[in-house]
Structure 1
Amino acid sequence: MEFDLNHEVNEGEKSGYCEKIIGGGGGGSGWSSSSTSSASAVSSVSSSIYFELWHACAGPLTSLPKKGSVVVYFPQGHIEQAVSSLSMPCLEMPIFSLQPQIFCRVVNVQLLANKENDEVYTQVTLFPEPELGERNAEDTGHEDEMGEEEGGGVSPRMLTPHMFCKTLTASDTSTHGGFSVPRRAAEDCFPPLDYTQERPSQELVAKDLHEVEWKFRHIYRGQPRRHLLTTGWSIFVSQKNLVSGDAVLFLRGEDGELRLGIRRAVRPRNSLPNSVLTEQNTHPNIFSPVSNAISTKSMFHIFYSPRGSPAEFVIPYNKYVKSITHQVAIGMRFKMKLENEDAAERRCSGVVTGVGDIDPFRWPESKWRCLKIF
């Protein structure tokens, strides 16, 4: 079962990032002006912390396409995600004569979370516009239409909220212990304790990505004294199936609202929920909606798991144009960013050792993984 977080996104503040889902007949058009202002203020605060929490769980290198921008969809990348999730050979998947690069406009982006394991993912709605691929790559007359210069993606760090992330130790996941919180992190994210008390303590209430409330006892004790989450912590660890090496994130909004998320040490194969995997479990279902959308000039949806997919396969148009216009030759050195299992950002360098199609028979002239590097 998946949960749509879009209802927490305020259109006024995040316009162009994620479309607000409005149920019933037309949203809040019947509110009075005063109630609209009040509700917008509450929604703005709530949407901000949800947005930050989703990105914190996704990892530092995750970016989202901007609503209305032009992107390039790579079916080969979509196959890689399906193969990693479903353990099916990619050569058995019919490709319906799809082009290796499909130019589309972003209609909507939904921030979602997998109820089964708390992995975050997105549903991106795309409208194919193949004529965009025929434009001259050096045509600069459509920059505003295509998106921002660096691709129009949504930055994962927009508000830099009060946040800390800790990788769990064996004692943190022990049923007899508690969660040890670094002092600076506790003082930054949690409400202040009354240190005049002999054993300063308080009750914390934090919501996860599914709006479930978790209550913890926050206490400052021990010798030397340290911050601990005690009562309620073992229940959280048990129900979330946390193990040593997993990471827990706490975020505090400007209004004091506390949120928490999870980043697994090992990325589960089923990063997408079972409901999505079931739809993709028959080979034709992966690309038949794409082929149908192109032939009927209609929209199609793709699901993307930032931590489960080997690579992003919806790329901003301008980023794509830069990549194909920049001549790459064998022997050139390069630098790039990578994300490890702990979601920490790393940089690496190397040398280009080859240039060519990774699958010249099924996907000729594809730009997907066309470089060999060492």
Structure 2
Amino acid sequence: MVDEALLRTLTPTVIGVLGRRGADFAAAEDAVQDALVEAVRVWPDDPPRDPKGWLVTVAWRKFLDATRADASRRQREERVEAEPEPGQGEEADDTLQLYFLCAHPSLTPASAVALTLRAVGGLTTRQIARAYLVPEATMAQRISRAKRTVTGARFTQAGDVGTVLRVLYLVFNEGYSGDVDLAAEAIRLTRQLAAKIDHDEVAGLLALMLLHHARRPARTDAEGRLVPLAEQDRSRWDTRLIAEGVDVLQAALARDRLGEFQAQAAIAALHADAQTAAETDWVQIVEWYDELVRLTDSPVARLNRAVAVGEADGPRAGLAALADLDPALPRYTAVAAYLRERDGDAATAARLYAEAARAAPSLPERDHLTRQAARLNARLRG
């Protein structure tokens, strides 16, 4: 058996080695992918004593083969023909620069995510395509376009941490589909980033991921149906992940440099701290949403704040907060339905649940909202 985790861990390091030897990013990434395929074929019968050295050697030869085959790059071939001897520079770690390169501001979010999963995560095009439920050829084209966009970007260029974090958050929010658990992959990559850079918001994002992921086992029932937070069996939450997330968050907050991911993680921690839904400290959650709105002015944060206000101060206060928002916001109608039901207007709530179901972004959410509408309509008929 091939240790896939080891291959994925070594991928960004080997790409970095090729980059320092003269390969541009696109060529280095292609060569390393070819070497990974070779490793999967060869290692079960002939495991190397030095996996990293083996991958560097094979990837470099793959790069030279590709360079020789390209007549338009003969001058470059002359420059890189002689394979350098490994030296002290081979031990440098370019993973952090790869994060920044893959989150290049000229890339679309979808392309940045795909490239990050390939170059930093070490996933194959097929794995990424299955995770996003698209044909492999489609994903291959997306990755190729992304690599062309960043070709020529230097490994030494400064990157934007905020952009990297948003890419990782996009990966996490994809959750699980196909044969790759993207939520777990996002946590792995964010842990890796946190080990390489001392940044409060990296810690905030890691804490947020851990706290949300801890609730995952309770998010669906035995039939795969969505279970709202208030109805979840909290004994199924992962207390180990919750404890780790809280520890990471507290260390970040102690520095007194608040960012949006820390604020979101603080909200998640308050939910995790409540033994039952009734014990949730909604007043403090509203205060954290106030901080989040101050930091981001995000319409989504304002929408979630309206829910929290409805819990802390009553449904009519929540509806008043909702009235200031654009009804075209995703999930606005679902929030309005919930608050209307809390306020005793079952007929309006049923209509709004049905309307929200038609606009739901996923099948589980559509099913949940449809069941909410049916529940209220049955009550009204009874």
TM-score range with shorter-chain normalisation? Answer: under 0.3
Higher Rg of the two aligned structures: 2
Q: Provide the TM-score with structure 1 as the length reference.
A: 0.23
* Bigger proportion of residues as helix: 2
* Bigger proportion of residues as strand: 1
